[in-house]
Chain A
Amino acid sequence: MWYRGGIGHWSWLLHRLTGVGVLLFLCLHILDTSLIALGPQHYNAIMGVYRLPLFRVLEVGLVASVLFHALNGVRIILIDVWVDLTRIHRLLFQIQMACFTLVMMPVAWIMLRPLLVQ
């Protein structure tokens, strides 16, 4: 249902989306590693697909999803444990996003550099 909520609403929505995204990746990961049971050629074939540039970009998205989900989870835990933090929950979200950006910038650069410098 659509609702024009504030920071808490959108961070909750993003938390859910990143959580589902990471879960889908885990299912895919279990599936691709289980291909080894059918023979090394199948496993190598799927690994070859993962080395495509598009998948490198998707991997950056995966790291971003895990990082956002983790940081947002920590923010929620902090608020649940110290309820007075509810007064500054917007500031906490801004700090969370600053941490997210600080970590993601070098990580994205390291992961995408092989594609960019080729």
Chain B
Amino acid sequence: MQLDIQIKRFNPEQDREPQWREYTVTLEPTDRVLDALHAVKWHHDGSLAFRRSCAHGICGSDGMMINGRNRLACKVLIKDLRQPIMVEPMRGFPVVKDLIVDMAGFFDKYRSVRPYLISDEAPPRTERLQSPAERERYEDTTKCILCGACTTSCPSFWANSAYVGPAAIVQAHRFIFDSRDQGRAERSAILNQASGVWRCRTIFNCTDACPRGINVTKAIGEVKKLLVKAATRPPHPPPTRD
């Protein structure tokens, strides 16, 4: 089938403003948007720049805005989209070139929530065990691939780039609710700041955009509730009566 695809192009060495360019390529309806981008790059304009790596929805490299919504180009089929397909870079990040955005700030925020196991205990000789129920508690947020689709679909992030963003909160959630982790207090302190979870307005764009199907809004809500509970808990346990 003939496919019309419009791509928002920007070359910082030549262009002052991004501009839309249209291409017509021949593809199968069951091909993906990534295949369309390959067809443009390989047969029409080799200067088109975009990221992709695994091309199977695991690495999260090819996050971009497709027909107005954040998606992974390798997961969206042509037949599911209205033509002409409009492809542009994710919102809220500086554009490096064409569909490539600068994600340095995104990964700085990711690192700011200490996305690793924090434990004062000496490493055991075997695995740090936990029950299936304890593992299930944070199962959903283990699926994040850091593609940035959630953070760049969030109006709170567009309005204030200091906001830590849904992706970093999801990563924090993964460890905060891990029974083996002891870094809850320091992560909570980071997320309780003005740039933390309270900037979330429960808009659900992040949940809708997540290519891994993570209920991001729920994860953020759970962190909010945890912070409220910690703030309203009495500083000392009430005295017990004999």
B202 close to A5 (CB less than 8 A): no
Q: Which residues of A contact B201 (CB under 8 A)?
A: 12, 76
Shortest CB-to-CB span from A102 to chain B, Å, is 24
- Report the interface size for chain B: residues with CB under 8 A from the other chain: 23
A3 close to B68 (CB less than 8 A): yes
Is A108 interfacial (CB 8 A cutoff)? Answer: no
Give the complex CA separation of A83 and B215 in angstroms. 10
B155 close to A86 (CB less than 8 A): no
A21-54 residues at the B interface, CB under 8 angstroms = none
Give the complex CA separation of A110 and B221 in angstroms. 40
A8 close to B218 (CB less than 8 A): no
A1 close to B91 (CB less than 8 A): yes
B203 close to A5 (CB less than 8 A): yes
- Size class of the contact patch on chain A: 10 to 19
Is B23 interfacial (CB 8 A cutoff)? Answer: no
B208 close to A6 (CB less than 8 A): yes
Q: Which residues of A contact B68 (CB under 8 A)?
A: 2-4
Minimal Cβ-Cβ distance residue in A for B156: A12
Give the complex CA separation of A89 and B207 in angstroms. 11
B208 close to A5 (CB less than 8 A): yes
Is B138 interfacial (CB 8 A cutoff)? Answer: no
**A-contact bits for B64-81, CB 8 A (1 contact / 0 none):** 010111000000000000
Is A79 interfacial (CB 8 A cutoff)? Answer: yes
Q: Which residues of B contact A2 (CB under 8 A)?
A: 68
Give the complex CA separation of A41 and B68 in angstroms. 54
A86 close to B207 (CB less than 8 A): yes
Is B225 interfacial (CB 8 A cutoff)? Answer: yes
B65, B67, B68, B202 interface centre (most CB from chain A within 10 Å): B202
Is B205 interfacial (CB 8 A cutoff)? Answer: yes
Q: Which residues of A contact B158 (CB under 8 A)?
A: 1
Is B171 interfacial (CB 8 A cutoff)? Answer: no
Given A2-B68, A5-B203, are A80 and B224 also a contact pair (CB < 8 Å)? Answer: yes
B203 close to A8 (CB less than 8 A): yes
B91 close to A80 (CB less than 8 A): no
Interface of A toward B, CB cutoff 8 Å:
1-9, 12, 76, 79-81, 83-84, 86-87, 89
Q: A3-B205, A8-B202, A76-B201 are in contact. List 11 more A-B contacts (CB 8 A).
A: A1-B158, A3-B91, A4-B68, A5-B69, A8-B208, A9-B203, A9-B205, A9-B208, A12-B203, A79-B221, A83-B221
25 contacts between A and B (CB under 8 A): A1-B91, A1-B92, A1-B158, A3-B65, A3-B69, A3-B205, A4-B69, A5-B203, A5-B208, A6-B204, A6-B208, A8-B203, A8-B204, A8-B207, A9-B204, A12-B201, A79-B202, A79-B217, A80-B221, A81-B225, A83-B218, A83-B221, A86-B207, A87-B218, A89-B217
Interface of B toward A, CB cutoff 8 Å:
65, 67-69, 91-92, 153, 155, 158, 201-205, 207-208, 215, 217-218, 221-222, 224-225
